[in-house]
Amino acid sequence: MKSTILKSCLMMAGILLFITPSTVAQTNPSPSGDPFIGMYEGAYHATGRPAYPASASLVSQGRGVYRLAVRYQTGASLAEFGQVELHGVAQGPRLTVSGYANNISWNGTVENGVLTLGRSDPHYGGRFALHKVIHLSPTEGMKPPRNATVLLPFEPGQETNLDSWTNSKWELSHDGTMRVKGGTGDNRTKESFGSIRLHLEFNLAHMPEENGQGRSNSGIYFQDRYEVQILDSFGIIPGSGDCGGIYEQSAPRINACYPPGQWQTYDITFRAAEFDRSGKIKTYPQVTVELNGVVIQENHEFKVVTGGAVNDKVVDRARMRLQDHGDPVKYRNIWVVELD
């Protein structure tokens, strides 16, 4: 299924839960190549009660091993919710999940994009019926305005160019993307910038046998000093080192990540430092971050640089940098609008 309209959401345990109408796109959409991981939506059916919206994230934790987190309404208010977390093992085209949560034993399966889950003792009732969905960022494919500086042109099906970048060793594809070539070094813009509004789209490789910082790691350094993290953080409670985090400074307010293999968007407003006539700092740099159309950092102030900064000097203009952390992260459609 594919969902492109975000009408309402729940936020549980730091993870954004979208509950939206969906239209059938295919039986089991799997952009990552894994038939199980992703977002699932549907309903929780309790005996003698109306069906309530439910959502789940299914995350790989190694080859053939998975963690399932199901979140569901338990009453008329969005504030009334429950959560079930279980583990599963793949057996061919089927994933079997089981375990205890809320003092209840649960069993279920995931197959062909359908997740079914119920209590082990059927006399007590209570079951979930969910289908895999794909959410699309509302800013995916956004065209640059006339006053934009285009750093990575994007036209579907056409190869892009690295004219605006210093590292020509990163790889270009015929689908219009640029991919990090591990071990060749970071990639900086040739031009320097002050205050900007950045649009950038990225796609993370599925790396099920890696954990934490080993899962499709990259990052955006504003002015070569202030990093906003890029990482496969789908389905977890995020910290400052996860996707959308200000590295070692500020965790995202919620997890708005999509599963690996899907295109995701950053729309980031960076405000450069301001100085008085004597050169003394009047205001420190600030950043507001939107991930997939959701504000996850708002007016974060950089009193110090983040790890990996070129140096700790506060400047009014400098180059932007994309990090080579050795992982095959893809980028496309990168442009900035300079702000007054």
Domain final position from 87, 113, 135 = 135
Q: Is 118 exposed, middle or buried (0-12, 13-18, 19+ CB in 10 A)?
A: middle
> How many other CB atoms sit within 10 Å of the CB of residue 104?
13
Domain final position from 135, 167, 188 = 135
CATH number of residue 209's parent domain: 2.60.120.560
- Listed as own residue / partner, the contacts of 153-161 with beta carbons closer than 8 Å and 24 or more positions apart are 154/201, 154/332, 154/333, 154/334, 160/332
Residue 297 in domain: yes
Overall number of domains in the chain: 2
Closest listed residue to residue 66, CA positions, set 89, 96, 47: 89
Q: Is 124 helix (H, G, I), strand (E, B) or coil?
A: helix
Q: How many alpha carbons lie under 13 Å from residue 18 in its C-beta half-sphere?
A: 26
Averaged pLDDT for residues 12-38 = 64
* Tokens found for residue 249: 């400074």
Do 198 and 316 belong together in one domain? yes
Strands 196-203 and 330-338, sheet pairing: antiparallel
Do 30 and 157 belong together in one domain? no
Residue 134 Ramachandran class (φ > 0 left, ψ -120 to 50 alpha, else beta): beta
The average confidence (pLDDT) of the chain is: 90
Q: What pLDDT score was predicted for residue 257?
A: 97
CA dist list (Å): 266 to 29, 100, 143, 200, 321: 23, 37, 14, 5, 15
Give the H or E element holding residue 184.
none
Max avg pLDDT among 47-51, 73-77, 230-234: 230-234
Any idea which residue has 């409670």 for tokens? 237
Q: What pLDDT score was predicted for residue 74?
A: 80
Do 307 and 248 belong together in one domain? yes
Domain final position from 111, 135, 159 = 135
Q: What pLDDT score was predicted for residue 27?
A: 66
Flag whether the pTM goes above 0.85: yes
Residue 104 in domain: yes
Do 62 and 165 belong together in one domain? no
Do 180 and 326 belong together in one domain? yes
Do 208 and 99 belong together in one domain? no
Bridge partners (DSSP) of residue 108 are: 97, 117
**Residue 212 banded pLDDT, cuts 50, 70, 90:** confident
Q: What is the dihedral of CA 72, 75, 77, 78, to 10 degrees?
A: 0
Bridge partners (DSSP) of residue 70 are: 56, 84
**Residue 75 banded pLDDT, cuts 50, 70, 90:** confident
Residue 83 in domain: yes
Do 120 and 168 belong together in one domain? no
CATH number of residue 50's parent domain: 2.40.128.120
Residue 166 in domain: yes
Residue 144 in domain: no
Do 271 and 303 belong together in one domain? yes
Q: Is 57 exposed, middle or buried (0-12, 13-18, 19+ CB in 10 A)?
A: buried
* Tokens found for residue 126: 């209570």
Do 307 and 159 belong together in one domain? yes
Do 107 and 251 belong together in one domain? no
Any idea which residue has 């790989």 for tokens? 60
Please say if the pLDDT value at position 67 is more than 90.
Answer: yes
User: 328 with 149: CB under 8 angstroms?
Assistant: no
Residue 142 in domain: no
Please say if the pLDDT value at position 178 is more than 80.
Answer: yes
Do 219 and 131 belong together in one domain? no
Q: What pLDDT score was predicted for residue 23?
A: 36
Q: Which of 6-15, 73-82, 91-100 has the lowest mean pLDDT?
A: 6-15
Q: What pLDDT score was predicted for residue 12?
A: 46
Averaged pLDDT for residues 6-26 = 43
Q: Which residue has the higher pLDDT, 247 or 293?
A: 293
Q: Which of 16-25, 162-171, 203-212, 316-325 has the lowest mean pLDDT?
A: 16-25
Domain span at residue 85?
2-135
Please say if the pLDDT value at position 98 is more than 50.
Answer: yes
Q: Which of 14-23, 38-47, 165-174 has the lowest mean pLDDT?
A: 14-23
Q: What pLDDT score was predicted for residue 9?
A: 44
Please say if the pLDDT value at position 21 is more than 60.
Answer: no
Q: What distance lies between CA 259 and its chain's CA centroid?
A: 7
Distance between CA atoms of 270 and 312, rounded to whole angstroms?
Answer: 17
Q: What pLDDT score was predicted for residue 26?
A: 58
Taking every pair of Cα atoms in the chain, the longest distance, rounded to a whole number of angstroms, is 77
Strands 286-291 and 330-338, sheet pairing: unpaired
Do 170 and 220 belong together in one domain? yes
What Rg do the C-alpha atoms of the chain give, in angstroms?
A: 21
Distance between CA atoms of 320 and 167, rounded to whole angstroms?
Answer: 13
Residue 143 in domain: no
Closest listed residue to residue 10, CA positions, set 88, 85, 75: 75
pLDDT tens profile 120-171: 876 666 899 999 999 999 999 999 999 999 999 999 999 999 999 999 999 9
Residue 30 in domain: yes
